[in-house]
Amino acid sequence: MKIDLLYEIETDRPFDRAHQRELFEEVLAQVELADRLGYHAAWFVEHHFLVEFAHSSAPEVILGALSQRTERIRLGHGVVLLPYPFNHPIRVAERIATLDILSGGRVEFGTGRSSAYEQLGFGIAPEESRAMWQEALSIIPRMWRDEPFSYRGRFFDIPERHVIPKPVQQPHPPIWLACTSPESWRLAGLNGIGALGFSFVMEMEEFAANLQAYRQHLAQARPVGEFVNDQVGAFTMVFCAPSDREAEELALEAFGWYILSSYKLFLAHSKGAGWQVLRDRERLFLEALEGRSREVFEYLREHNSIVVGSPDRCIEGLRRYEALGVDRMLCLMQVRGIPLPAVRRSIELFGREVVPAFHGARQEAR
């Protein structure tokens, strides 16, 4: 199992221009450190309008910068939002290929649709987003292969054109799908692409069932790309410190906040087109959740959904995912509320003491 990092780029208010610059520079420095320590990949989400929760709205720019500041670590889009006009498939093909060239063939191409809240902000009909994703997904690998390329479909009508440049990786970078429901796990399998699963929002048994279903559908795949990416990634929150107590004290409020914020965003923005305002009953329920970060954290810890503690405890937690057949562990450490120096110390300790347990001999930080 390979160990990766994942970034939303979270921050507290107020975020003035100087603070934003400091935050983004620190995130770049953290990934440079992870590169030296031997982490396998760094993934960046694409989200829009999610204040405090995710400021990574232009991951292609961040990953472009990292392509010139790192040497070995793979660079993951976790994920590119394919419904248009988030991103037009021609622009996606061009950007992924360019990043692959600049990074020397280190790109991981994750795909997804995002939430109705974000889709509506771009004028996308949520009920059309899955079909848009599927159509864009089906033609992007062809743009890297066909010379010239043309296509006429439901959402895209592209006359004969040469889509350039082409990626370094042959035949193209690995393709993935962010999986948040049984249906998305099924689609990842049928399309022959990797599954990036959210493990902290479900019991381990449920995650294992989704993984099993993915493997079954993968056997029936009609791959959209030139090869089947049969890897499974699991995304969860991770924090490492010299002692279990120190790690829990630093992560408790932040991880609880992340889960509650995720739930709020889902509840407030997943009711379909036009549904924007919480009803009184749901608003009162959310108010009752405020201040419950400790209980949320303890529940996640007891159910092995998060990985928090000393290096030994972190290794123990990760072994559970490895035993399920997970290939890639996407570790979210930079969470709002944890001081940035503490995040950097966690990345370093985790890289020195935990990553080698899965990757072999460690890289020394310079």
Stretches where the chain sits below pLDDT 70 are: 201, 266-293, 361-366
**pLDDT in the model for residue 273:** 35
Cα–Cα distance between 366 and 360 in angstroms, integer? 19
- The dihedrals phi and psi of 111, each to the nearest 5 degrees, come to -130, 160
Per-residue b or e along 212-251, where b marks 16 or more CB atoms closer than 10 Å to that residue's CB: ebbeebbeebeebbeebbbbbbbbbbbbbbeeeeebbebb
Architecture of domain 2-244+308-359: Alpha-Beta Barrel (3.20)
**pLDDT in the model for residue 286:** 57
Contact 77, 46 (CB under 8 A): yes
Give CA angle at 240 (33, 72), nearest 5°. 25
**pLDDT in the model for residue 271:** 47
User: For residue range 48-103, what is the model confidence (pLDDT) as tens digits?
Assistant: 999 999 999 999 999 999 999 999 999 999 999 999 999 999 999 999 999 999 99
Every domain of the chain and the residues it spans: 2-244+308-359
Helix residue ranges per DSSP H, 270-310:
280-289, 293-302
Contact 226, 191 (CB under 8 A): no
User: Which helix (H) or strand (E) is 27 found in, with range?
Assistant: helix 17-37
> 24: which 2 tokens?
């983004």
**pLDDT in the model for residue 17:** 87
Q: Quick one: CA dihedral 94, 97, 99, 102, positive or negative?
A: negative
β strands within the chain, DSSP E: 2-7, 41-44, 74-81, 107-112, 149-152, 157-161, 175-179, 194-198, 232-240, 307-309, 328-332
**pLDDT in the model for residue 360:** 74
Q: How many CB atoms lie within 10 A of CB 161?
A: 12
Which residue type does 189 have?
G
Indicate the pTM of the whole model: 0.92
Cα–Cα distance between 269 and 273 in angstroms, integer? 9
**pLDDT in the model for residue 295:** 73
> 305: which 2 tokens?
């959904």
